[in-house]
Amino acid sequence: MNHIKHYAYSHTPLSFDFKQTVERFFVEEIPLYPFTGNGNYLILKIKKTDMSTWKLITVLAKAAGVADRDIGYAGLKDKNATTIQYFSLPKQAEKMLNKNLTTERVEILERTFNKAPLKVGHLKGNRFSIVLHHVHEKDAKFFNTTAKMMQTKGIPNYYGYQRFGEDARSYLQGKEIAHSGKRLKGSREKLMVAAYQSHLFNKWLGSRVKLSKVIAEEKADIAAKKLKYPKPLVEELAKQPQFFKLFFGDVMMPYPHGKPTFVKEMMESAGAFEKKKVSPTGLLCGANALRAQNDARYLEEPFDDDELTSLRGDRRFAWIWPKEVETAYDREKRQLTVDFYLPKGSYATTFLEEIGKFSLKEER
């Protein structure tokens, strides 16, 4: 996947060993809102290890004597991690659940009630703690400095390699399904078409990061030649204070959530972007998707696919800011523990790859 990824920062690549395992990768969901404490739905805060979200839903449903569809959840988490997630189920199923839930890989940390079930996306974000091995002490210091700088300046919000399957090519099947015109059958086909959506987004984002980097690093006349833009346009774009350059017609959204608007006053939008008040968005093509306008649409169009109508379209933040970044180094073990928070839908591996400048996906 990284052949379409362009890194925003120009520091020297860092060396570290990353593996996504239950001992080295921890993630905790942060709910979108506080629960009411009463209502017809039992809310469980669950710690799980070595189990996918789908598998846990099946385990909970079987133990509680309800259908899988009666289990509400906010987000999907990988099997190869220790995760803390929230689930909802009908209140009356609690007794059966207490009697039948026995697996050691599932620990109920908290219980409460809510007036509504959990739905996908009902998350503020996720808090991560990741242990990296084989880190030199000087690299640990540089890692900390770089991560804190990215907390201030932000990073491109690429989809992580996990989105694209074991062979990183599930988007090709998704494209084929999307172009077949048939109605999607089951979650597997939806996931593959979503992978194709995500692939197009990543390609668009990579192109915009590359463009922005040329403007940031080259003199105006050289950048104009490389980009085949008029020099006055490059000079205007270079005046924007932030790295990721905006164009007329870009779709902006208040950060971390809000209603979309189009860029009309360039420097006004750029100023709000630099202050983290708004962020540009990229297209997830599909039915009823909001498209960019003007110059931004010209840059977006090569990564749009109007044949993809089997899924709803959307916009996704192109640029995000990690928060709560902290690191701790163990000199004897040469291990670096990295703690940070990301908004929902963003990938911890994307953040680590921007620092390390190499793909974290294991070769198979």
Could you list the active site residues? 78
Query: Is residue 157 within 8 Å of 320, Cβ to Cβ?
Result: yes
Query: Is residue 156 within 8 Å of 318, Cβ to Cβ?
Result: yes
Per the rule left: phi > 0, alpha: psi between -120 and 50, beta: everything else, 350 is alpha
Please tell me the distance from the alpha carbon of residue 251 to that of residue 319, in angstroms, as a whole number.
12
Please tell me the distance from the alpha carbon of residue 163 to that of residue 165, in angstroms, as a whole number.
6
Burial of residue 228 (number of CB atoms within 10 Å: 0-12, 13-18, 19+): exposed
Query: Is residue 313 within 8 Å of 293, Cβ to Cβ?
Result: no
Query: How large is the angle between the packed helices 137-153 and 348-356, nearest 10 degrees?
Result: 120
Please tell me the distance from the alpha carbon of residue 150 to that of residue 325, in angstroms, as a whole number.
9
Query: Is residue 66 within 8 Å of 93, Cβ to Cβ?
Result: yes
Two tokens, residue 334: 């040469």
Pairing of strands 82-90, 25-31: parallel
Coil, strand or helix: which one is 172? helix
The CA–CA distances, whole Å, from 348 to 19, 54, 77, 79, 240 equal 12, 20, 12, 15, 28
Query: Is residue 203 within 8 Å of 303, Cβ to Cβ?
Result: yes
